[in-house]
Amino acid sequence: MSDTTKVTEIARNTIRLETQSLKLLEESIGFDFEQIVQLIHQSQGKVVLTGVGKSGIIGMKIAASLSSTGTPALYLHATDATHGDLGKVEKKDVIIAISKSGNSQEIKDLIPFLKNNGNKVIGMTANPDSFLGKQSDHLLFTPVEKEACPHNLAPTTSTTVQLVMGDALAMSLMDLNGFQPQDFAQIHPSGSLGKKLHLKVGDLTDDSKIPSVSIEASLKEVICEISEKRLGATVVEYNGKISGLVTDGDIRRVLEKNENIGGLVASEIMTENPITVVEDMLALEGLKLMQAKKINHLIVLEKNKSYKGMVNILDFIKEGLNG
């Protein structure tokens, strides 16, 4: 067997083993899982994830997923907990302790303190007969027949199953909490996901770049305004109202069609009735509108319909909204 063939077979076997365990996990979900979800949902406290090693890393991820989808949660390293960090845990908190074997010494040391504190303990383990399995108030069974590691040592299949169990919890609680896109936006203000749900078209305008010329402006004046404001277009106004839009593309087409351009004014080269949007439109919706209309500029109006500014499609791309 060539090295390339061997690598391919190892990769496929890894995926095969982990998929088999995920199938077992799916089949294990039932009434016990529902009880645990309801327990967390009805709790007046937060969810505290704890573990050590790779299970601890999975605990961090589950805590992050819960927090970002409407269920307050934090991660507490099992060793740190017994050295002072138990002060982070309140009596009303629900504990999820993660250990594949269920017999990690750090977990054994921690569980009695948590139970004496009055906390409900949920054990996530592949071994229901372990210390964690027997001492927990509720069990999240994470079945693992074999690690993908050829020596059956390195946590691979087990951590995948733990991770997916955490996602199942987070998504179930997200539904019970009625967590909606607008809630997501409130706690994800940065990054492309938050921007898609939160950023408004008006946020993209620049007060120092509000291109505008009168309806009688000469071609030279139009070109100068477009060049100065660097948005590739300018609004044409008449008596304080928007009459049209001139883009750099409009100018190129006029130059191609006319030999005598000396007397041209803005009204002769503008596009009438340009598309306008109100400043509180979501930027993502503004981008979709531009794509649908095949335009590169949007004129942005304030809520009172006065001219606020202009955005170029590049402004959306800079914010990561082009994907």
The separation between the first and the last C-alpha atoms of the chain, rounded to the nearest angstrom, is 42
pLDDT at 48: 97
Contact 90, 82 (CB under 8 A): no
- The residue ranges of DSSP E strands in the chain, in sequence order, are 47-51, 73-77, 94-98, 120-125, 138-141, 212-214, 233-238, 241-247, 271-272, 276-278, 297-301, 307-312
Query: Helix 31-42 and helix 157-176: axis angle, to 10°?
Result: 60
pLDDT at 199: 87
For the entire predicted model, the pTM comes to: 0.70
**Counted domains in the chain:** 2
193 found inside a domain: no
Same domain assignment for residues 139 and 39: yes
Same domain assignment for residues 164 and 211: no
Nearest to 51 by CA among 118, 101, 115: 101
Same domain assignment for residues 133 and 164: yes
**CATH number assigned to the domain comprising residue 251:** 3.10.580.10
pLDDT of residue 323 exceeding 60, the answer is no
pLDDT at 42: 96
pLDDT at 189: 65
Same domain assignment for residues 133 and 263: no
Q: For residue 269, what pLDDT band results from cuts at 50, 70 and 90?
A: very high
189 found inside a domain: no
pLDDT at 190: 64
Q: What percent of the chain has pLDDT over 70?
A: 97
pLDDT at 187: 72
32 found inside a domain: yes
188 found inside a domain: no
Nearest to 78 by CA among 102, 104, 101, 100: 104
pLDDT at 185: 67
| Contact partners, residue 214, CB within 8 Å, separation at least 6 | 236, 237, 238, 266
Mean pLDDT of the chain: 92
- Which tens digits make up the pLDDT trace of 59-78? 999 999 999 999 999 999 99
pLDDT at 82: 85
187 found inside a domain: no
- Which tens digits make up the pLDDT trace of 280-291? 999 999 999 999
Same domain assignment for residues 162 and 98: yes
Q: What is the mean pLDDT of residues 230-238?
A: 95
Q: Which domain holds residue 20?
A: 3-179
Q: What is the mean pLDDT of residues 269-279?
A: 95
161 vs 47: CA distance, rounded Å? 19
Q: What does the block give as tokens for 107? A: 């977990």
Nearest to 311 by CA among 225, 222, 235, 244: 235
pLDDT at 261: 77
Same domain assignment for residues 154 and 223: no
Scanning the structure block, which residue is given the tokens 């009434």?
31
pLDDT at 258: 80
Same domain assignment for residues 206 and 175: no
